[in-house]
Structure 1
Amino acid sequence: MATSFDTTLATLGITRTSATTAPKTTTAAEAGTLNQNDFLKLMTAQMQNQDPFNPVDNTQMVAQMAQFSSLAGITEMSTTMKSIADKLNTTSASDALSYVGKTVLTEGTTAYGRSSGGIAGSVELAGAASDVNVTISDANGVALTTMQLGAQAKGTVGYDWDGKDSTGADAGNGPFKVSIAAQNAGTAVAATSLVWAPVQSVSTTTGTAILTLPGIGEVPVSSVRQIG
């Protein structure tokens, strides 16, 4: 169904499609948008249908043409800049492969022990907390130790566990489970566990690098907080 905008153009003798080309489906947004060809047709129709006793002011017409050209240039530049941004945000295959063999800090609750023993990690706090506790458990869920990080400001706070349980015995190489409990004066504070994990493999089939991490699974490279 023709819009009032199309009806107005039709009155001036302007159509949106060429007589030599088949009409194409237009979206609602395109139907209310003038492109450069439409503007030139509209200007020509305006000149053809102007009142000879009150012709269009040349100064105003030149100003309209300059304004439209400027807008068209800005639109084209915006499209170009978006294409460049999309390219820059896409991780290349060589960039993705450089992650293999490295360790990354990302969201997760499973961690493997270092060769020197113990694990390191971080806690992301959504707000200030008066008490932050990190509990390390074995693969069966049995608590090995709890580290009290005390009062912490909003943001990221790191911790380092030496690999000893509450009795001082060596807890082995894991895997270990990490759980976080944070509160501020009795009110729970949202907290995210971040663990270090080695990158086993990388996939770029979706255009975005996906890292495979032991105990965690597949995570996008955008979720990596730090590279070790």
Structure 2
Amino acid sequence: MSSAFDTTLNNLGINRTTNSAPTASKGSTSLGQADFLKLMTAQLKNQDPFSPVDNTQMVAQMAQFSSLAGITDMNTTLKAISDKLSGTSASDALAYVGRTVLTEGKVAYGRTSGGIAGAVELDGAATDVTVTIENANGQVLTTQQLGAQPKGTVNYDWDGKTDGGADAGPGPFKVTVTAANAGTSVGSRGLVWSPVAAVSMPASGSPVLTLPGLGQVPISAVRQIG
């Protein structure tokens, strides 16, 4: 059964939104800016002429209305700014094509000059950080000992020579990273550089980059652009 408050609102032409599902036990209610104005107007029309609304109360109500309008406009503006900052336009995304990006991955292709560059993300300080590079057949080509490193990102650069001094070729190479602090494992991720082959723009969400050896990678996963 509707409450007296609901009845009053209905008489004024204001309908509170309710959940129409038959199984719902409780509906949501909301009064917007237009509803607030209707209530205030109705109050003025139906006031007792021998006891009109006090000027102080009227000013307070107008201040509330002004505050509500300001907050509504501010929320709309902030939402628009947020969408702009978090969004990426088609032209921005297409600018990635032909560039190289640093992102999480385990496959890397050799540079024209030979070897690869990459990085390791550490969740904490480590006394031992190791990068192992293998060929496509799983044969270990080299092991890079980066030593003790603080929490954060540490870069490395491999010249493309195996531990035996031979030329490792253009790849692809499999890159594995491990980190430990005095024998205790430390969370880590390997980052590799990869050229952007294509960009796709889904109907919703962030643009997606196509990276050789890594597949589809969201643009939000890019750490750095080369």
Q: TM-score, normalised by structure 1?
A: 0.85
Q: Which residue of 2 aligns with 1:21?
A: none
Q: Which residue of 2 aligns with 1:221?
A: 219
Residues 187-202 of structure 1: matches in 2 within 5 Å?
187-202=184-199
Q: What secondary structure is seen at the aligned counterpart in 1 of 2:56?
A: helix
Q: What secondary structure is seen at the aligned counterpart in 2 of 1:133?
A: strand
CA distance in 2, matches of 1:57, 1:25: 32
CA distance in 2, matches of 1:122, 1:68: 55
Match of 1:184, as an amino acid?
A: N
> Contact 1:125/1:155 (CA < 8 Å) preserved in 2?
yes
Q: Shift in Å at residue 81 of structure 1?
A: 2.4
CA distance in 2, matches of 1:215, 1:178: 12
Q: What secondary structure is seen at the aligned counterpart in 1 of 2:149?
A: coil
Q: What secondary structure is seen at the aligned counterpart in 2 of 1:170?
A: coil
Structure 2 residue runs of 5 or longer lacking an equivalent are 21-25
Q: Which residue of 1 aligns with 2:79?
A: 82
Residues 125-140 of structure 1: matches in 2 within 5 Å?
125-140=122-137
> Contact 2:33/2:68 (CA < 8 Å) preserved in 1?
no
Q: Shift in Å at residue 107 of structure 1?
A: 0.8
Identity of aligned residues (%): 67
2:207 to 206, 209, 225: 209
> Contact 2:141/2:168 (CA < 8 Å) preserved in 1?
yes
Structure 1 residue runs of 5 or longer lacking an equivalent are 18-23
Q: Which residue of 2 aligns with 1:103?
A: 100
Q: Shift in Å at residue 114 of structure 1?
A: 0.6
Residues 1-228 of structure 1: matches in 2 within 5 Å?
2=2, 4=3, 7-11=4-8, 13-17=11-15, 26=18, 31-47=28-44, 50=47, 55-207=52-204, 208-228=206-226
Q: Shift in Å at residue 193 of structure 1?
A: 0.7
Q: Which residue of 1 aligns with 2:23?
A: none
1:27-65 per-position Cα deviation (integer Å, ceiling 9, x unaligned): 599943221222123224434555667543221221221
Q: Shift in Å at residue 164 of structure 1?
A: 1.2
Match of 1:225, as an amino acid?
A: R
Aligned residues: CA RMSD: 2.5
> Contact 1:9/1:15 (CA < 8 Å) preserved in 2?
no
Deviates more, 1:119-128 or 1:74-83: 74-83
1:101-152 per-position Cα deviation (integer Å, ceiling 9, x unaligned): 1111011000001111110000011111111111111112221111111111
Are the structure 2 counterparts of residues 101 and 116 from structure 1 closer, same or farther at C-alpha, using a change threshold of 3 Å? same
